[in-house]
Amino acid sequence: MLRALLLAPPGAGKGTQGERISEAAGVPHIATGDLLRTHVAQDTELGRTAREFMQRGELVPDSLVLELVYGTLAEPKPRRGFVLDGFPRTLAQAEGAFSWAKRVSRTFHAVITLDVPQPELVRRLLERGRSEGRDDDTEDTICHRLDVYESETQPLLEFYRARDILVPVDGTGTVDEVTDRIMTALGPLAPFV
């Protein structure tokens, strides 16, 4: 059982590491970016609204994201735990997530942060843009997303620090090295490794 949140700037490896942690813990990996991209690809009403924000590198409005996450967490699979990746990204989302947890008598065990210097983030995102063709991995949008992370998401660190659940991890080096660091940092929370 693990209920973890992943908080890191674009390009820090949230998706890759989130997948690995969730596999090791046997719980679903729920990435709001992936959920939103699925809605965009399926051209749902939510997808049509989200698309323009995503293309500009802006955050999708809190109310839409919260609705999406609450719906996903209410499904049977996440009842045994989850790794939430890319959410919460604003204070309003964090407050929403914590009041959801209180409502359903659950707690979050850890908020894992991945620290990677900005030039390395830009390099990784440009490379992903070339290999995966994500249309928000262009130079202008990357810079904007990093600014949005700093102004909207970074302040959440204080919110979590006050709740004593931050697990900071150095996100540089190889994928395996970062996974090892995460598992070590999770310590007794990672009895699944």
Residues forming the active site: 14, 89, 128, 134, 145
The binder of ligand AMP chosen from 24, 53, 128, 165 (CB under 6 A): 53
Give the per-residue contact string, 120-159, with ligand AMP (x = CB under 6 A; - = no).
Answer: ----------------x--------x--------------
- Of 57, 81, 96, 171, which one interacts with ligand AMP (CB under 6 A)? 57
Q: Does 9 bind ligand AMP (CB under 6 A)?
A: no
SS3 letters for the chain?
CEEEEEECCCCCCHHHHHHHHHHHHCCCEEEHHHHHHHHHHCCCHHHHHHHHHHHHCCCCCHHHHHHHHHHHHCCCHHHHEEEEECCCCCHHHHHHHHHHHHHCCCCCCEEEEEECCHHHHHHHHHHHHHHHCCCCCCHHHHHHHHHHHHHHHCCHHHHHHCCCCEEEEECCCCHHHHHHHHHHHHHHHCCCC
Q: Binding of ligand AMP at residue 51 (CB under 6 A)?
A: no
* Shortest distance in whole angstroms from residue 49 CB to ligand AMP: 11
Region binding ligand AMP by CB under 6 A among candidate stretches 22-30, 51-59, 118-126, 167-175? 51-59
With binding defined as CB under 6 A, does residue 86 bind ligand AMP? yes
**Of 110, 107, 150, 109, the residue nearest 10 (C-alpha):** 150
AA letter at 184: T
Complex with ligand AMP: residue 155 or 187, whichever CB lies closer:
155
Minimum Å gap between C-beta 71 and ligand AMP is: 14
Cα-to-chain-centroid distance, residue 164: 19
The minimum distance between CB 125 and ligand AMP, in angstroms, equals 9
**167, β-bridge pairs:** 112
Of 6, 65, 121, 182, the one binding ligand AMP (CB under 6 A) is 65
Give me the residues that bind ligand AMP (CB under 6 A), please: 10, 32-33, 36, 53-54, 57-60, 65, 86-87, 89, 93, 136, 145
